Amino acid sequence: MAELSYRDAVSRAIAQEMDRDPSVVLLGEDIGAAGGVFKATVGLLERFGPERVRDTPISEQAILGAAMGAAMTGLRPIAEIMFADFFAVCWDIVANQIAKSSYMTAGQVSFPLVIRSGNGGGLRFGAQHSQAVENWAMAIPGLKVVAPSNPADVIGLFAAAVRDPDPVMFFEAKGLYATKGEVPDGELVDTLGTAKVLRSGTDATIVALAAMVPRALAAAEVLAARGIDSTVVDVRSLVPLDTQTILREVSATGRMFTVEENPRLCGWGAELVSIVAEECFDDLDGPPLRITTPHIPLPSADALEDLAIPSVERIISTIERAMQS
């Protein structure tokens, strides 16, 4: 068992899969000699060489076009889009080409590729470099969508993504890169489409993703001291979505709160609320509530960004008010 940072876990995850399978290649802007803008690919160029770790021009369309072609011809590419906001530049390739082409060829062509990206706010990068866009990807048929919250899950879920036969969008929470966690030794391989119950309680179920998971756990500890015992579920994978685990835990407590970094309109929490309302309405003791970022461009000023993104304090106050009403 070793303690690794989230960013070092990314590097270990990529190295694990490149060691295992020579068809795995890595490409993106500054991922080679520079070790990545977030230092999540340090040492990979030296270890695997320039044939398998390729710096690209500053062109998101070129990166994903090359990755798509590589996947079609037998490789398993890992493509980095530096900031998740930049998917707006190359969304046609993601949403209309990579996501659809296996279906449109009746499975004659497969696309075993991973597109990884730094996602979300908290680092004062402003409105064009801080968006949480996992809900963009969740809305596109043909894509799998993963967003880990801790170093061990980074490695295990990344391995599952690389080995998957379908295209996977792998969102790395920029605000978690410096955080650390215990990671078992040896090869780690997890399963896509599985949520994890990180804390069990009797009064409320808090459902969170990526950078919001540590905040949900911290809020749950404070709430427990104040007499509200909460379950915390880490969604981990939006597509496939582990509805069985989420529905079971919501039914057990009768209350659900989602904590998400997405802007409020059309976030993933809205989809979960819809599913819960359809599948276990009679088990609810109150309306499911979403704790979200407002539907605004994210500000870069520290006080304003902290106010916009769900905080531990806002999670606590929202749940306390709801449970007392």
SS3 letters for the chain? CEEEEHHHHHHHHHHHHHHHCCCEEEEECCCCCCCCCCCCCCCHHHHHCCCCEEECCCCHHHHHHHHHHHHHCCCEEEEEEEEHHHHHHCHHHHHHHHCCHHHHCCCCCCCCCEEEEEECCCCCCCCCCCCCCHHHHHCCCCCEEECCCCHHHHHHHHHHHHHCCCCEEEEEEHHHCCCEEEECCCCCCCCCCCCEEEECCCCEEEEECCCHHHHHHHHHHHHHHCCCCEEEEECCEEECCCHHHHHHHHHHHCCEEEEEEEECCCCHHHHHHHHHHHHCHHHCCCCCEEEEECCCCCCCCHHHHHHHCCCHHHHHHHHHHHHHC
- What is the pLDDT averaged over residues 41-70? 97
Catalytic residues: 129
Q: Are residues 262 and 125 in the same domain?
A: no
| Domain-located, residue 189 | no
Q: What is the pLDDT of residue 260?
A: 97
Residues of the chain with pLDDT > 70: what percent? 100
**pLDDT of res. 325:** 77
Domain boundary among 154, 183, 212: 183
Q: Is residue 50 one of the residues assigned to a domain?
A: yes
Residue 281 has pLDDT above 80, yes or no: yes
Structural domain includes residue 31: yes
Range of the domain at 77: 2-183
Grade residue 156 by pLDDT with cuts at 50, 70 and 90.
Answer: very high
Residue 297 lies in a domain: yes
Is residue 188 domain-resident?
no
In a domain, 100, yes or no: yes
pTM more than 0.95: yes
pLDDT tens digits along 223-264: 999 999 999 999 999 999 999 999 999 999 999 999 999 999
- Average pLDDT, integer, range 148-161: 98
In a domain, 279, yes or no: yes
Q: Give me the pLDDT at residue 1, please.
A: 85
Whether residues 41 and 161 share a domain: the answer is: yes
Residue 88 within any structural domain of the chain:
yes
| Domain stop point among 157, 183, 209 | 183
Domains in the chain, number: 2
* Final residue before a domain boundary, out of 160, 183, 206: 183
